[in-house]
Amino acid sequence: MLDKKHILNRFISYVKIDTESDPKSTSTPSTIKQWDLANKLAEELKAIGMQDVSIDKNAYIIATLPSNITHKVPTIGFISHFDTSPDFTATNVKPKIVENYDGSVIILNKEENIVLSPNYFEDLLLYKGQTLITTDGTTLLGADDKAGVCEIVSAMEYLIQHPEIKHGPIKVGFTPDEEIGRGAHKFDVEKFGADWAYTMDGSQIGELEYENFNAASALVKVNGKIVHPGYAKGKMINSMYYASQFIETLPKNETPEKTEGYEGFYHLHSMEGKVENTELNYIIRDHDRNKFEARKLQLIDLVKSLNKDIGHTIFEIEIKDQYYNMKEMVVPVMHIVDIAEAAMKELNIKPLIKPIRGGTDGSQLSFMGLPCPNIFAGGHNFHGRYEYVPLESILSATEVICKIAELTQKRYS
């Protein structure tokens, strides 16, 4: 039986450490403060009895739980990231505990009138009677992905304390900078040494994912001319006006807030402008590789068309691929998904097999030779003040990890 209070305290200790990553930084990890949790995790892994614990110069952590059986079985791995999103502050996180949630509105911050309401976030009603961990309304929580980190550490601790659960060799890995797309960039797959792995980085209990977006970033630069507004006729070129023209030309129904399932989108996630220069930062997403390539080409063609209509170069564009759909790497080894699905069913958890509308370290790792489906970590409303996670989901994910280890050795016994 898992120690509920012990695991809750572990999770709380993680989220109170600020590990926000920084997309503008060129170092790894991108922020020095990520080392605070990285070093804590390395010491904690040693303390619970993990072997070969290492933390490299970039804060990547790897550890081993040796096999406790005599026959040879594949080495499996579990991976999570410890950074949090730069989209919302992670400074001074003060988690709130709501026991025996009754389905009503949760007051996160009375002074600022910030509430978590099931009228808006309907998923809350799935967790009536459970213990919810929320924010205080002024920060994110960090369940993405400190819930996953907590689940992996807790599962390893449980397996060490319960040698009657038979398993093969298990590797665990924790990474920085996943939230800015670099979590797997310096991950040493060869050193990790697993035949396959699972990222514990999903949301709702039961999620099991082996498909994700193909992803790219697009920087659109709009070049204007600044002159005194009193003498601007025929001379000034206001880049912000042209930037708005670019924005308005893209299809209005292909944005995150109007798409679901396998539907792709263009997402303008930031913009900064003055008369002389404006920059638009887009992300491009699509599950289908051909549609993904077509989306990139559409942006390039739009830039060419607008420049042609204007008569000279106002727009420039730079597109960079970020990651690809892991499906093509996982389908040839679908038994690794089958094992995870069977583990959930044995624990009476209904598997929710669906595509990830986002990315995860697993997508990059799969293309680096480590097939890596994604399993729920339990949190909801990531990257903002309304983030929460049911404690029972953290416990269930911990049990799933243990059960996957057990079923893997049974499959190969």
pLDDT per position as a tens digit, 251-306 = 999 999 999 999 999 999 999 999 999 999 999 999 999 999 999 999 999 999 99
> Does 68 share its domain with 181?
yes
Among 323, 354, 374, identify where a domain stops: 323
What residues are annotated to the active site?
83, 178
In this prediction, residue 98 carries a pLDDT of 98
Q: Is the pLDDT of residue 187 over 90?
A: yes
> Does 191 share its domain with 259?
no
Give the CATH number for residue 264. Answer: 3.30.70.360
Residue 265's nearest CA partner among 247, 251, 248, 279 is 251
Mean pLDDT of all residues in 327-352: 97
> Does 384 share its domain with 289?
no
Q: Classify the phi-psi angles of 127: left when phi > 0, otherwise alpha if psi is within -120 to 50, otherwise beta.
A: alpha
Among 323, 343, 373, identify where a domain stops: 323
> Does 118 share its domain with 258?
no
* pLDDT band, residue 181 (cuts 50/70/90): confident
> Does 68 share its domain with 26?
yes
Any idea of the CA torsion for 342, 344, 350, 351, to the nearest 10 degrees? -70
* Pair of tokens at residue 244: 């708005």
Question: What is the distance in angstroms between the CA of the first residue and the CA of the last residue of the chain?
Answer: 26
> Does 406 share its domain with 384?
yes
> Does 296 share its domain with 239?
yes
Q: Burial of 83 by CB count in 10 Å (0-12 exposed, 13-18 middle, 19+ buried)?
A: buried
> Does 268 share its domain with 360?
no
Give the CATH number for residue 93. Answer: 3.40.630.10
Among 280, 304, 323, identify where a domain stops: 323
The total number of structural domains that make up the chain: 2
Quick check: 247 and 273 in contact, CB under 8 A?
A: no
Taking CB atoms within 8 Å and a gap of at least 24, the contacts of 150-153 are 150/7, 150/10, 150/11, 150/14, 150/394, 150/398, 151/80, 151/200, 151/377, 151/378, 151/394, 151/397, 151/398, 151/401, 152/78, 152/79, 152/80, 152/200, 152/401, 153/10, 153/41, 153/44, 153/45, 153/48
> Does 99 share its domain with 117?
yes
* pLDDT band, residue 322 (cuts 50/70/90): confident
Q: Burial of 107 by CB count in 10 Å (0-12 exposed, 13-18 middle, 19+ buried)?
A: middle
Q: Is the pLDDT of residue 342 over 90?
A: yes
> Does 206 share its domain with 220?
no
In this prediction, residue 324 carries a pLDDT of 92
Measure the CA–CA gap between 147 and 203, rounded to whole angstroms.
10
* Pair of tokens at residue 4: 């509920």
What range does the domain containing 397 cover?
4-212+325-411
Could you write out the DSSP letters of every residue in 199-218?
A: EEEE-STTEEE--B-EEEEE
> Does 200 share its domain with 60?
yes
What is the pTM assigned to this prediction? 0.88
* pLDDT band, residue 357 (cuts 50/70/90): confident
Instruction: Please provide the size of the chain in residues.
Output: 413
In this prediction, residue 331 carries a pLDDT of 95
> Does 118 share its domain with 236?
no
Quick check: 116 and 105 in contact, CB under 8 A?
A: yes
